[in-house]
Amino acid sequence: MPVYRLTPVQGTEQSPQWRASSIKPHCLWIVASNEHEARRAVAKATVRDGTSETLAPWKDSELVSCVYDDSKDLAAGIICIRTNPRAAAAREAA
């Protein structure tokens, strides 16, 4: 199955919608059949208790981009999170 990369749009990190997610605005990858399913699965997996999944920032294309990305080899049901983009960029540059 395809892998999708979800990336928060720069400058949207302060949006109140991020309070609905248990994951801070970091880049992540997930296996899904299409963009809609990728967004839905991440929203469902990260929704905070007592918060509606419909408020999840991962579903909002103005807050998060979602593109096909075969650079990761993931098993179904796994969300791979890049929490420190500067460290990852430094490793890739080395």
Question: For the segment 62-71, what is each residue's pLDDT rounded down to a tens digit?
Answer: 999 999 998 8
Please report the DSSP string for 24-49 in residue order: -S-EEEEE-SSHHHHHHHHHHHHBPT
Report d(CA 70, CA 7) in Å as an integer: 15
Residues of the chain with pLDDT > 70, as a percent, come to: 87
Q: What is the CA radius of gyration of the chain?
A: 13
Per the structure, the complete domain to which residue 86 belongs is given by 3-93
- What's the structural domain count of the chain? 1
Question: For the segment 34-52, what is each residue's pLDDT rounded down to a tens digit?
Answer: 999 999 999 999 998 888 7
What is the structure's pLDDT at 85? Answer: 53
Nearest to 1 by CA among 69, 81, 58: 69
Count how many Cα atoms sit within 13 Å of the Cα of residue 52 in the half-sphere of its side chain: 2
Q: Which two tokens stand for residue 58?
A: 């991962």
Residues of the chain with pLDDT > 90, as a percent, come to: 54
pTM for the whole thing?
Answer: 0.82
Number of CB atoms found within 10 A of residue 37's CB: 15
